[in-house]
Structure 1
Amino acid sequence: MTYISRRDAQSIQNGVHSDPFSVLGLHEWKDKLVIRAFFPGAGKVEVLNHETGELITALIRDESAQDIFTNIIENATERFPYKFRITMGDHVWVTEDTYRFGPVIGELDEYLLGEGTHHELWKVLGAHVMTHEGVAGTHFAVWAPNARRASVVGNFNGWDGRRHQMRQRGATGVWEIFIPGIDDGEPYKYELLNRQGNLLPLKADPVGFGSEHAPRTASIVRRLDCHEWKDAGWMSKRELLSRIDQPISIYEVHLGSWKRVQDEGNRPLSYHELARDLVRYVKDMGFTHIELMPISEFPFDGSWGYQPVGLFAPTIRHGTLEEFRDFIDACHEAEIGVLIDWVPGHFPEDVHGLGKFDGTALYEHEDRREGFHPDWNTLVYNYGRKEVTNFLSANALYWLKEFHVDGLRVDAVASMLYRDYSRKEGEWIPNKDGGRENYEAIDFLRNMNEMAYGEVNGIMTVAEESTAFPGVSAPTNYGGLGFGYKWNMGWMNDTLRYMSQDPVHRKYHHHNMTFGLHYAFSENFILPLSHDEVVHGKGSLLNRMPGYPADQFANLRAYYGFMWGHPGKKLLFMGGEFAQGQEWNHNQSLDWHLLGHDFQRGVQSLVRDLNRIYHDVPALHQLDTRPEGFEWINSNAHADSVFSWVRKGKNGEAPVLVVSNMTPVERQHYRVGVPEAGRWLEILNTDSSLYAGGGRGNLGASQTEEIASDGRDVSLSLTLPPLSTLYFQLERV
């Protein structure tokens, strides 16, 4: 006798049943209890008592589907726990029945998922090791509303999508299943059928917490609940350290090429090795923060992580999720904040990724005029879909909460804000008002910032935004986007353009160095010398400086002095701190051997001292983002290519005079007006012999004279070394 309909049996056998949980497992049938199981290739399937292991009954192979086994349970009146004993050739094993377990996702989670407002989405979707109904295993859940069937596949079921078909959770579009016996470290993917019943390419988990090593692309089950954080001291005070009146000096790092182990196949360092070596180095150099280029899992090394596939998975290139947390702990123990580059603007079309995830344009736009980036050959998220923005906003919170990350640097914000970004006429669709602004992306960024700052104390969000879009770092209730800081791309482009000029021509480009002060306080700015300035044929920062080698180093030192004395927080890409000569190559280590040369070692010493002075001298950071902290002395000395200004702190802190001489001419007895009479101490000189400079300067200090200059009643007579920047601080008696 058969205990399953022919239609159900064949649908299960063929992997196209719409609700396998209604068929497989233990069910009432004609006032009896019947068990149905699907085990392809099994010779015998037996039902055992869950506690004692005693045989309850053997299942009978169904006549209409060879891999379906069924039987009634005699003398049973209510549901009970059981196990299966499977015989396949010479192999015999005991296993749980996935289809005897109820749902895991609760009503509140289901409501929030449907509404698109689940702030902790990662706690519901993805793969979670847990004990469910007294049995250890892993719960899997994935959003695929247009799939006809969703299954979890892996080594545990021979990558057969018929074996673990998931339960659909109504209108949410979410599928779930609890699979007993699956633990941390298990590879898996999702197998989906589209609406037409066609098999799609296997997909990695959009909310997967781990990934295989490339070129393999499966997700890996990773536990989230086993780390004991050791950074309570840091977490309690980081809110103070991220404020706009604090010194923030950021070291941007590509973990794969900062340093490599040459005698082990040129491999990159592990998270644990980085926790030792990178943290120690950054601490010694005086940077307050590390910014990591994207560490979300990505398939192609050449994208540097800016084309992520696994937004919730720290890249396995350096170790596991738990080892990445150890790295964060080490940074915080050293009182170094960690920012990560976050990429919610686009994603690649790799077949195992988000593109056409359930056979439809689920995460992206159907119309490629809205959903495709021509610059990067990537897809654009559909910010008008609530589930997509929920996915992205929750991902931001995930890194902040689960990894204690101190901030997010949001990549390519300009490409999100404008529908016509890098597109020709006719290649984009205007907004509802006929304009170019992407209203949905703007709303998403505002909501993301409100969530991040509202739910996690002491963090910062930073926008890489290259246009004049207003209010990027203004609060959302004032109409801004709500970021904490914005990269000052205009300052970077202008000043590098100036520094690349032969000094004899710089007087004609003087405005490139001063123009940034016209808008310096319109946003909370970070001055970035990022990886983008040392790739794609641009060469290194050093090689963009004119002149003979000694002049190039002098130019670079003077430029760094100008930058650290200029209003705005600081960011420097790795290698720049010791004047690496070659353009950055992501496939090899930085040229650390160059520190055997005086010039490179001198630049490194300068950057170390700049960070120390920036940190220790309040006038250089307290009013970094406020106009009252800055006063031009002379912005118009075009003929001399000299710039001079004063930085001020709060509450009468001793001011600092910054003077830059951007010509290879030593200027003696150069008169500079100052706002207060007294002795001004020379606290930094980029021409110092400590930095492999010429050792020229002002013997440590200069006393004001009652000679009017630059519109001030008193002035200093200074020696300005060629190609140099000097800092003087008023000595308070």
Structure 2
Amino acid sequence: MQISWQTLGKVLQGNINVLAQGRHHDPFLFLGCHPVDISEENKHKENGWSLSVWLPTAEKAEVEGHELQRVENSDLFMAFITDKQKLALPKHYAVKWIEADASEHEMVSPYTFLPQLGELDLHLFSEGRHWQVYDVLGAHPKVIDGISGVQFAVWAPAAERVSVVGDFNGWHGLRHPMRVNGGSGVWELFIPGLHAGDIYKFEIRNRQSGHCFTKTDPYAVSMEHRPKTGCVVYQSDYQWNDQAWLKQLAEFDWQKSPINIYEVHLGSWQRADDGGFLSYREIAHRLVEYVQWMGYTHIELLPISEHPLDESWGYQTTGYFAPTSRFGSPDDFRYFVDYCHQHNIGVFLDWVPAHFPKDEFALGRFDGSALYEHEDPRKGEHQDWGTYIFNFGRNEVRNFLISNALYWIKELHIDGLRVDAVASMLYLDYSREDGQWLPNEHGGRENLEAIDFMRNLNEQVHAQCPGAVVMAEESTSWPMVSRPNWMGGLGFSMKWNMGWMNDTLDYFEKEPIYRPYHHNQLTFSQVYAYSENFVLPLSHDEVVHLKGSLIAKMPGDDWQKAANLRLLLAYQGLHPGKKLLFMGCEFAQWGEWSEARSLDWHLCDDALNRGVQLLAKSVNELYKTHPALYERDFESSGFEWIDCHDYQQSILSFIRQADNQKLICVFNFTPVPRENYRIGLPQAGQYIEVLNSDSELFGGSNKGNAGYVFSEDFAWMNQPYSAELTLPPLSVVVLRLG
């Protein structure tokens, strides 16, 4: 029997048109089973129930033996049942339908389930304080009322309609429309029968323009391998084995511990024999073995959040919660972190909260409005990078970013974050001319909302994740970046010392004949070295974009270039501050780094490159085994000049010290060996030469002090004792009282 429009008048109330146009904000109000007055067509004059399903591609449909009738000129299938029939109907009933191609399908109706998002979840999210909101938003396999499926939820307040689309419904936007939760802007739908591995996106219709488009899930924890952009429903079953590491991490006194970071781009550290990517599990074994041998304490990964373009190195993030599928699944990444921890290697992650790309499938104009970004390009667009800037003043956006940081640390066991491009967040006029930026409410250039976000981020990470560190890549003189919030600081654990890096590299690139005129580039760092908790970075940024590799920057012939590089690496290792070195620099890769190929590992067979590598290894071992080099990194008491004035000979000497230990470090920044060079010493006795970067083991000329010197009772350089040293060319000599 064809159901008449007259009978349906009170029931439909325009819902069919709204559903057909894809504009219904809550299909649960109409789809499913609802009480209705059908007394006009019921001779028993009793009330009943309407069974309604929306099946745009179906020819026939039924529910638990009740044949459904297509409402004329629509994709709505309906039946009326009595109270008695309703009592016999399961709470979550199955819908069967036949497609035009005669294929048969069956699925429990999604429109029989109550809302799954609690009021507290929505309230905390709207306030920007739901730190585990990733457990609520996104796609989560669940069992509800004994029925398995996937719960979807997404924030899209400017949407008129949001639907879940995927292979399971032919990517048809009208098959699974979601319901919105009041004025929260959060849409949700539980779809029975779906499971881990299903591909999905959200189809969104903007309320104002009526435009429809598909978007990836901002909270997706797994995504398809590029160039595909679909999200993958994922459920981890990984069993962690790093409990011992996590226990000691909770008590990790990072300020007084050695932190020596090997910065790695996973896609180009090593490649498979066919030139393709290694998996997370393959890289874990190779990389950990190498890092242990070299003596690094931590690995720092260039961004591995999902990104569509290899050439972006991960800095154009489109999947903030998803480890890139280039190297395997999220559980494969968990294995990578776990394996590092089991071998006492920490893992830091390069994290990008400053900006995000404009790819149409991702965060940009997510619901048709400037949702995650500012509407005004003077605040919302980064001109240099062609990206959007997060709206740090919006609660839900701050919540997205802070919960993302906590997700990597809590759920994926990352030990800390390096926050990229902090300077671009701090200043409203960053890289902008007059008229291209908007001042803050006080007329200043400081981004007050971003400052508040960073303080909140650091407060939550340090409170919820003891032992985790957050490092700022901040290139200006903004004060107290690594000081607590209560002192007026930004709350970061540490800050990259970009000033030290720029001055040091600029000095080393000069021919030694000119170095006496730039001696202050080496000594100036002590003026501000303890104003922040500094990391000394020689990072990927210094070996790309025609800057040349580290060894290629050095002056002189090949021998002098290698000697200069050995001296640079030793200078970094002995200078106060935690350390970071980009991969390939430790074995003097000649070519500039490229993300498109493996490092030039064959160079390690060359004596010159091998010598640099062994020097880097020796410096790392010296650093880890001598508390004088790390216990007081952030205290002036850990450093004392012996002589910083010998600019004419380009020689520096200083003491690194901790309780009951002093190391004497003497640098010769010229290719001229210095014989009988008197150096002041703090104590009497025999001093053992624990490092000589000119050793033949490292490819040097093997000049030195035969392994030790004796102090003389002769005051020199404000020290009570002294000794005459042989200073090899372009080298450092390190002495320890023995």
**Structure 1 and Structure 2 fold alike (TM over 0.5):** yes
Q: CA deviation at 1:241?
A: 4.0
State whether structure 2 residue 24 is matched by structure 1 residue 8.
no
Q: CA deviation at 1:280?
A: 1.2
Equivalent residue number for residue 719 of structure 1:
726
Q: CA deviation at 1:87?
A: 1.5
State whether structure 2 residue 733 is matched by structure 1 residue 729.
no
Equivalent residue number for residue 49 of structure 2:
33
Distance in 2 of aligned mates of 1:113 and 1:443: 17
Equivalent residue number for residue 671 of structure 2:
664
State whether structure 2 residue 283 is matched by structure 1 residue 267.
no
Q: CA deviation at 1:106?
A: 1.3
Distance in 1 of aligned mates of 2:158 and 2:672: 71
TM-score (normalizing by structure 2) = 0.96
Q: CA deviation at 1:228?
A: 1.3
Distance in 2 of aligned mates of 1:602 and 1:72: 85
Unpaired runs of 5+ residues, structure 2, are 38-46
Equivalent residue number for residue 683 of structure 2:
676
The runs of at least 4 consecutive aligned structure 1 residues that moved more than 4 Å come to none
Equivalent residue number for residue 179 of structure 1:
191
- The 5-angstrom pairing of residues 14-53 of structure 1 reads 14-30=21-37, 31-48=47-64
Distance in 2 of aligned mates of 1:275 and 1:310: 22
Distance in 1 of aligned mates of 2:348 and 2:107: 44
Q: CA deviation at 1:34?
A: 1.6
Distance in 2 of aligned mates of 1:144 and 1:428: 27
State whether structure 2 residue 264 is matched by structure 1 residue 253.
yes
Answer yes or no: is the 8 Å Cα contact 2:205–2:213 preserved in 1. Answer: no
- The 5-angstrom pairing of residues 529-544 of structure 1 reads 529-544=538-553
Answer yes or no: is the 8 Å Cα contact 1:486–1:525 preserved in 2. Answer: yes
* SS, match of residue 178 in structure 1: strand
- The 5-angstrom pairing of residues 167-316 of structure 1 reads 167-196=179-208, 198-224=210-236, 226-241=237-252, 243-263=254-274, 266-316=275-325
* SS, match of residue 664 in structure 2: strand
State the one-letter code of the partner of 1:337: G
CA offsets 1:612-640 (integer angstroms, 9 cap, x no match): 11011111111111100000000111001
* SS, match of residue 72 in structure 1: strand
* SS, match of residue 436 in structure 1: coil
Answer yes or no: is the 8 Å Cα contact 2:125–2:395 preserved in 1. Answer: no
Answer yes or no: is the 8 Å Cα contact 1:211–1:313 preserved in 2. Answer: yes
Distance in 2 of aligned mates of 1:70 and 1:240: 63
- The 5-angstrom pairing of residues 516-531 of structure 1 reads 516-531=525-540
State whether structure 2 residue 182 is matched by structure 1 residue 166.
no
Equivalent residue number for residue 416 of structure 2:
407
Equivalent residue number for residue 710 of structure 2:
703
Answer yes or no: is the 8 Å Cα contact 1:559–1:725 preserved in 2. Answer: no
Q: CA deviation at 1:254?
A: 0.4
CA offsets 1:152-210 (integer angstroms, 9 cap, x no match): 11111111111110010112110000011111121111111112352333111111111
Equivalent residue number for residue 52 of structure 1:
none
Answer yes or no: is the 8 Å Cα contact 1:148–1:197 preserved in 2. Answer: no
State the one-letter code of the partner of 1:116: G
1:597 to 606, 622, 642: 606
CA offsets 1:308-340 (integer angstroms, 9 cap, x no match): 011111101111111100101000001100000
Q: CA deviation at 1:694?
A: 1.1
Equivalent residue number for residue 83 of structure 1:
94
Q: CA deviation at 1:90?
A: 2.6
State the one-letter code of the partner of 1:677: A
Q: CA deviation at 1:345?
A: 0.2
Distance in 2 of aligned mates of 1:675 and 1:632: 11
Distance in 1 of aligned mates of 2:710 and 2:243: 48
Equivalent residue number for residue 144 of structure 1:
156
Structural RMSD (CA) = 1.2
* SS, match of residue 355 in structure 2: coil
TM-score (normalizing by structure 1) = 0.97
Distance in 2 of aligned mates of 1:129 and 1:252: 35
State the one-letter code of the partner of 1:607: A
Distance in 2 of aligned mates of 1:384 and 1:680: 58
Answer yes or no: is the 8 Å Cα contact 1:43–1:87 preserved in 2. Answer: yes
Distance in 1 of aligned mates of 2:425 and 2:600: 36
User: Which of 164-173 and 75-84 deviates more?
Assistant: 75-84
Equivalent residue number for residue 509 of structure 1:
518
Equivalent residue number for residue 686 of structure 1:
693
Unpaired runs of 5+ residues, structure 1, are 49-54
Answer yes or no: is the 8 Å Cα contact 1:242–1:459 preserved in 2. Answer: no
Distance in 2 of aligned mates of 1:516 and 1:197: 56
Answer yes or no: is the 8 Å Cα contact 2:687–2:735 preserved in 1. Answer: yes
Answer yes or no: is the 8 Å Cα contact 1:114–1:171 preserved in 2. Answer: no
Equivalent residue number for residue 41 of structure 2:
none
Answer yes or no: is the 8 Å Cα contact 1:148–1:194 preserved in 2. Answer: yes
Equivalent residue number for residue 551 of structure 1:
560
Distance in 2 of aligned mates of 1:242 and 1:584: 34
* SS, match of residue 582 in structure 1: coil
CA offsets 1:248-284 (integer angstroms, 9 cap, x no match): 0000000010001132xx1121101111111111111
2:78 to 70, 85, 99: 70
State the one-letter code of the partner of 1:464: E
Answer yes or no: is the 8 Å Cα contact 1:189–1:219 preserved in 2. Answer: yes
* SS, match of residue 215 in structure 2: coil
Number of equivalences: 718
Equivalent residue number for residue 138 of structure 2:
126
CA offsets 1:89-137 (integer angstroms, 9 cap, x no match): 4311221111111111112112212222111110110000111121111
Q: CA deviation at 1:240?
A: 4.2
State whether structure 2 residue 128 is matched by structure 1 residue 116.
yes
State the one-letter code of the partner of 1:528: P
- The 5-angstrom pairing of residues 326-341 of structure 1 reads 326-341=335-350
1:421 to 423, 430, 436: 430
* SS, match of residue 212 in structure 2: coil
Distance in 2 of aligned mates of 1:517 and 1:286: 27
Is the alpha carbon distance of 1:331 and 1:242 closer, same or farther for their aligned partners in structure 2, counting shifts above 3 Å?
farther
Distance in 1 of aligned mates of 2:612 and 2:680: 29
CA offsets 1:356-388 (integer angstroms, 9 cap, x no match): 111111111111001111111111011111111
Equivalent residue number for residue 107 of structure 1:
119
- The 5-angstrom pairing of residues 636-651 of structure 1 reads 636-650=645-659
Distance in 2 of aligned mates of 1:632 and 1:602: 29
Equivalent residue number for residue 51 of structure 1:
none
* SS, match of residue 218 in structure 2: coil
User: Which of 287-296 and 704-713 deviates more?
Assistant: 704-713
Equivalent residue number for residue 67 of structure 2:
58
Percent identity between matched residues is 49
Distance in 2 of aligned mates of 1:184 and 1:283: 36
Answer yes or no: is the 8 Å Cα contact 2:92–2:109 preserved in 1. Answer: no
State the one-letter code of the partner of 2:351: W
* SS, match of residue 72 in structure 2: coil
Q: CA deviation at 1:559?
A: 1.1
* SS, match of residue 164 in structure 1: coil
